[in-house]
Amino acid sequence: MSTSPSILLLSGSLRTGSSNESVLRTAQAVAPAHVRTVLYAGLAALPHFNPDDDIDPLPAPVAELRAAIDAATAILICAPEYAGTLPGSFKNLLDWTVGGTEICDKPVAWVNAAAAGRGRGAEATLRTVMGYTGADIVESACVSVPVDRGTVGADGIITDEGVREQLGAVLGRLLAPR
């Protein structure tokens, strides 16, 4: 079995050309070779959360989500703010995690990709929900990295060296022994 650390990357945006997803794609690009990164791609396939369905056997997309969380050493989230909070689709994902134990004690951080001073409502909601999951929030890795869409290449990866350095530091802090 591999002992390499792995980071599950969760984007809160379904939008094509998402700047939040570009942050996570860039984190993948700058991750050290020994760190495995997995960009979760199942957000759109998750059913609406219903406690009646939060039983075995779980809906397949939910089982896949929980397995991906379970397999990860740590989780990095990048989600936009919609109407002062998280997008409903991403809150739905988080609701599916509350009934499981996979996130409990797992290092979790988020990057706020919004312009300076924006996105605080989404961050506050993330903090509240993560409190219910028992996640180990790595405060030093929760940072604001405003994304200038002009610096996102055709491959969805950010070219700005300062941003890339910041994201590399985030990964390091997320995985650092504490």
Contacts with ligand FMN by CB under 6 A lie at 13, 15, 18-20, 80-84, 114, 118-119
Query: Between residues 55 and 83, which has the closer beta carbon with respect to ligand FMN?
Result: 83
For residue 143, the minimal CB distance to ligand FMN (Å) is: 16
- Tell me how far apart the alpha carbons of residues 113 and 14 are, in angstroms, rounded to a whole number: 15
Distance CA 150, CA 153 (A): 8
- The least distance separating ligand FMN from the CB of residue 68, rounded to whole angstroms, comes to 20
Residues 6+ apart with CB under 8 A from 149: 19
- Residue among 125 and 133 whose Cβ is closer to ligand FMN: 125
| Min CB(81)–ligand FMN separation in Å | 4
Please report which helix (H) or strand (E) contains residue 14, including its range: none
Nearer to ligand FMN, 13 or 37 (CB): 13
Report the candidate in 142, 139, 141, 146 with the shortest Cα–Cα distance to residue 163: 146
